[in-house]
Every structure is written in structure tokens, then in C-alpha cells.
Structure 1
Amino acid sequence: MSRIIVFGGHGRIALLLAPILVARGDEVTSVIRNPDHVSEVEATGAHALVADVETLDTDALAEIIRGHDAVVWSAGAGGGSPERTYAVDRDAAIRTMDAAEAAGVKRYVMVSWLGSKADHGVPESDGFFAYADAKWAADEHLRSTDLDGTILGPGTLTFDEPTGRIVLDPEGKGEVARADVAAVIAEVVGNPSTFGRTIRFGNGTDDTAVPIVDALSA
């Protein structure tokens, strides 16, 4: 059994992830901002912890993280103002990494996006720029730490039924079901072979996709 803390616990991916982890015997703490979401989160089998990562400093976050075996960052501002996007997707994410180091929790899984690269190609005039810029900064910070980090770069998220199959480094937007993203997180979180890797993926096609376990071992 592992103790896993998930930031962004009321997000669509996190709500799919928690039952997978709980079903295999893990203990899940889902961090949420809105107390109105406690019952929905706890229906997944996770323990809901109400805390605003946007305002908590590194020391406070370390107290939340301490005692867990792994951190999963699946939080985000959800397309709000650029200021809030930077505050959550970059600054708060970075504080949780620093807090994990301070708390002695080495394992950290970042849910990023397929195009998170230095040359992501999103112009500053585009409303998506703040997100692309913030995620790249957070990803780079994780790479600079001594954490056992994995960066996941799923393609465009869909509500499709899960396939249990993915393709790495997909072309185009690399559409992928949220449920398959959750399955990938569950697979990598305790998998040392994924430490230090950036894994970009989509669902691919029947001809290209392989079972998630096989894809991650490639």
C-alpha cells in the first residue's frame, strides 16, 4: 500500500484516478479548494483535504505532503485569468515540488500537456499562452529538482470511453480519454522505470496503440 496525495482532487482526471488507486489498496488524499466538493471526492474512496494551494506557502504545503509516499499534481486554474493561471499552474505547482523535497517525499508525478516544450509555439497574443508558459516553467522546475519526477504529457482530453491503450509521442493533438490518463498516472506513480522521464501520449489508433503497461515499458 502507498499513501498518495493528489492535488486538484476534484478535477475530472483525479476523480477517475482515486478509485483506481483505492481499489488496489492505496490510501489517497485528494486536496480540494471547495468544501462543497468533499462528499463527491470521498465517494471515490479518497480522503478529502480542503486546502487552497494558491495561498499556502511551502512550509504549509510540506506539512500536508509529509508522510505520503508520492505526490500527483493534477491541479490547474482551469482557463481563468493569466494571473491566476501563473499563480496555480506555475507558482503553486513549484511550491508543492519544493514542499515535497522539504518533506522528504521523493516521488512526484506532474500532469502536464502534450505540447509542453520550450518551443511550444503558442504566441503571446493567444489566450492559451499563459497556460503553455506556466506549464513549461513548472515542468522545467521539476526537472531541476532531486525528486523522482515523471512528467506526463497527454494530448487533447476527451470524454471517450477508456481503451486501456496508448501510443507514445503521438502526432497532432494526440487525443486521449481522461480515463486513460488516470490509468497512466496509476501505472507510473509506483513505477521506478518512469522516474526522470517525460511521457507524451495519446490514444492513437487501433493499428498504433498498445496496452498502457507495454507502452510505458518501451
Structure 2
Amino acid sequence: MKIVIAGGHGKIALRLTRLLAERGDSVVGIVRDPRHVDDIERAGGEAVVLDLEHATVDEVAATLVDADAAVFSAGSGNNATSARRDTMDRAAVVLVMDAAEQAGVRRFLHVSSINVGCADDRDIGDGYAVYLRAKRAAEQHIFARDKLDWTVLRPGVLTDGNGDGTVELTAGNRVGPTRARFDQVTREDVAAVLVALIDRPDTAGRVYVVVGGETPIEKAIDV
């Protein structure tokens, strides 16, 4: 398969690239910074330099030609302004979906956040709330797409520890939990869940929450 990852230099994305490349898939990582090309290639992928905050639909669609799936794993970063939260965490998602539709790529996976349903909670902090509102808006755009076989994955608090191939994966609703959760999950296990979701077209149209747990990933997908 050919998989295109928006935000190819992210910590989840690099792990996903490695896992896919190790099993023989072709992986294209979209990155903004030319200095990140080598990291993509070391992980086994091919890099395309493209700034999703300024790219056109045609430019993104060109990277998606003949792809079997697109994964959106880009992010605005911890210290982003409110404006950049919107351009990266919402508008760029819409851009990649538009490009996928133009290129004829139906499968679309989006890495969101466990707490999207808490964006209006006054206790979570202004910066986090802005991030969650952008993520929530992106999800609303996704849910309205009937030309894409989308799946939304909402990870818990991300850590860099070694994954063990087991998680707690639950089916979520489109609103999301209204009480904030801070359960942890390794980026390695999130990447492995994405691989499993790519392989399971029957997960299209579903929302999943993933945190650390004891169920093997392949079995957890059957929730």
C-alpha cells in the first residue's frame, strides 16, 4: 500500500512510517522543513516538502496520487498562537481532506485528542482549550464528509516510552467525553493502532479513544 502522512516529522508519524515501511508499504511524509527530510528517509519513507498552512489543494493532491490512505498527524505545537492552532489543527485538516477527495483517495485517518469534548471546560486552561476547539472543529468537518472513509483516533496523553502492543481502545461518540481524562498512551502504541486501523476498512465512520491498557491491539480493534 501507499500511505501519505500529513505531518510526517511528528513523533507519531515517524513511528508510523517505520512500522509501515518495515512491512513493505510505501510511505510519503509531508513536511514543512527541508531539514526533516533525512529523518523521514531514515525511517523508511519518502519526504515531500510542503507547507500545509500555505499549500493549495492541487499541491497536496499531487502527493496523494495513487495513495491507498491519508493520515493526518500534523499539529501546531505546544506554544502555538491561537491563529496557528486554527490554521494547522483545523484548516490544514480540511485542506488534506479536499486534496484526498480530488485525488480519489477515500481512506482518511485523523489523529485527534481524547479531550475534544472538553473544549468549553473553564478548568482546563485557555491554551489547551484553544487547541481542543480547533481539534473539535476539525472533527466536525470530518464527520460531514460522505466521500471519505474516515476514522478518528483520539489518543490520551502521549508519552515516548516503548510500546508494548497492548492498549485500551474504546468506541467514542462524535461529541466526546465532557470530563477531561489524562490517561497516558505511548506514541509507539498509537502508531501501531493506526497501522491496524489502516488494515481494517470496516472501522470507517467510527471514532476511537486509545489509552494504555492490556488488550493486544489486533484484538482491541474489534470493540
- Normalising by structure 1, we get a TM-score of 0.92
2:162 partner amino acid: E
Structure 1 equivalent of residue 150 of structure 2: 149
Distance 1:10 1:122 in 2: 31
Q: Where do 1:122-161 residues align within 5 Å?
A: 122-123=121-122, 126-146=126-146, 147-161=148-162
Are residues 1:175 and 2:176 paired? no
Q: How many residues align?
A: 212
Structure 2 equivalent of residue 196 of structure 1: 205
What CA deviation, in whole Å up to 9, does each residue of 1:112-155 have, x standing for no partner?
011123x5444396111221011111111111102000000010
Is the contact between residue 119 and residue 130 of structure 2 (CA under 8 Å) also seen in structure 1?
A: no
Structure 1 equivalent of residue 92 of structure 2: 92
Is the contact between residue 7 and residue 31 of structure 1 (CA under 8 Å) also seen in structure 2?
A: yes
Q: Secondary structure at the match of 1:48?
A: strand
Cα deviation for residue 63 of structure 1 reads 1.9
Distance 1:177 1:13 in 2: 9
Structure 2 equivalent of residue 4 of structure 1: 3
Q: Secondary structure at the match of 1:128?
A: helix
Structure 1 equivalent of residue 73 of structure 2: 74
Structure 1 equivalent of residue 106 of structure 2: 106
Are residues 1:214 and 2:215 paired? no
Distance 1:66 1:93 in 2: 18
Q: Secondary structure at the match of 1:213?
A: helix
Q: Secondary structure at the match of 1:160?
A: coil
**Distance change >3 Å, CA 168–CA 125, structure 1 → 2:** closer
Among all aligned residue pairs of Structure 1 and Structure 2, give the percentage whose two residues are the same amino acid: 39
Runs of 4+ in 1 over 6 A off after TM superposition: none
Distance 2:125 2:109 in 1: 30
Distance 1:63 1:139 in 2: 24
Gapped runs of 5+ residues in structure 1? none
Q: Secondary structure at the match of 2:208?
A: strand
What CA deviation, in whole Å up to 9, does each residue of 1:91-123 have, x standing for no partner?
011111111111110000000011123x54443
Gapped runs of 5+ residues in structure 2? 172-179
